[in-house]
Structure 1
Amino acid sequence: MKGNQIIQTAAIFGMLAVGIGAFGAHGLKEILAETGRAETFETAVKYHFYHSLAIFIIGILALVKPNWKKLSTATILMVVGIFIFSGSLYILSLTGITWLGAITPLGGVAFISGWILVFLAASNKNEQ
């Protein structure tokens, strides 16, 4: 992925985070109260938004440092993390299907792996 594509990806995920967060706070308030999962939904939105911002910053880095090839893979891992981590928590919050909580940590591993790749991209002397 090129820097501009990464920034566009971040914009889409940021837009979705704001929309889902607003919808959760207003349109889903009663459902989240019934399931007792408003806090879980809020956690999903937070991680979704934080990692949308991280993807945006990675996109800027990719424009400035196009040789940092690991940034593309870091972006993919963060997108996967948003889908698995936040997505499973969104569904859990709305449906109460508790087994989804078992796959949530896989999204966390994707987030962590993405951050590790950002670190490695910045520390690899061959890519400087």
Structure 2
Amino acid sequence: MPSESTPLLVSLPSNSTTRKRSAMFWTLGCIYGATAVCFGAFGAHGLKKTISDPARIANFATAAHYQLIHSVALLVAAQNQNPISGVLFTTGMTMFSGSLYALVLDPARFRFLGPVTPLGGLCLIAGWAALAFK
């Protein structure tokens, strides 16, 4: 039975490759988290000067919100040395949030990314499952 002194995130023994991969996912999680805050601030303040459609602004906010939440999930995956969930979260954030950002900023130019958004969402869902069933 865990005690109050049991850490929430436990480091597991690993080899050098696993440690390097976990460090890479940790760094990516931090970068994605920082950029999510930047994109969220841009969506809340700067985007309203160029886009008047509230649905597009809401989509941008959704992209930033999902990116921020899954950045934290990526940090958990890195701490737990779970490379499958790390790849899925990274891919999912890039596809889901990245496609939404592009579609909001220039929908005509990036129309081809429309089908990418739900694929990114599926990667995010699979990342949670991989985290649960490691």
State if a TM-score over 0.5 links the two structures: yes
Q: Give the superposition deviation at 1:21.
A: 1.1
Matched, 1:81 2:92: yes
Unaligned runs of 5+ in 2: 1-17
Q: 47, 50, 55: which one pairs with 1:31?
A: 50
Higher relative contact order (Cα pairs below 8 Å, separated by 6+ residues): 1
How many residue pairs get matched? 113
Provide the rounded CA distance (Å) in 2 between the counterparts of 1:30 and 1:14: 24
Shift, 1:75, TM fit: 0.6
Q: Extract unaligned runs of 5+ from structure 1.
A: 63-70, 122-128
Residue 20 (1) aligns with residue 39 (2)? yes
Q: Which amino acid aligns with 2:100?
A: L
The 4+ residue runs of structure 1 with deviation greater than 6 A are: none
Q: Normalised by the size of structure 2, how large is the TM-score? A: 0.75
Measure the CA separation in 1 of the matches of 2:68 and 2:25: 15
Normalising by structure 1, we get a TM-score of 0.78
Measured in 2, the distance between the counterparts of 1:96 and 1:114 equals 28
In 2, distance between residues paired with 1:31 and 1:81? 27
- The CA deviation string for residues 29-83 of structure 1, in whole angstroms up to 9 with x for no partner, is 2223258401110110111011001011222223xxxxxxxx1121111111111
Which has the larger displacement, 98-107 or 41-50?
A: 98-107
Could you tell me whether the CA contact under 8 Å between 2:96 and 2:118 is conserved in 1? Answer: yes
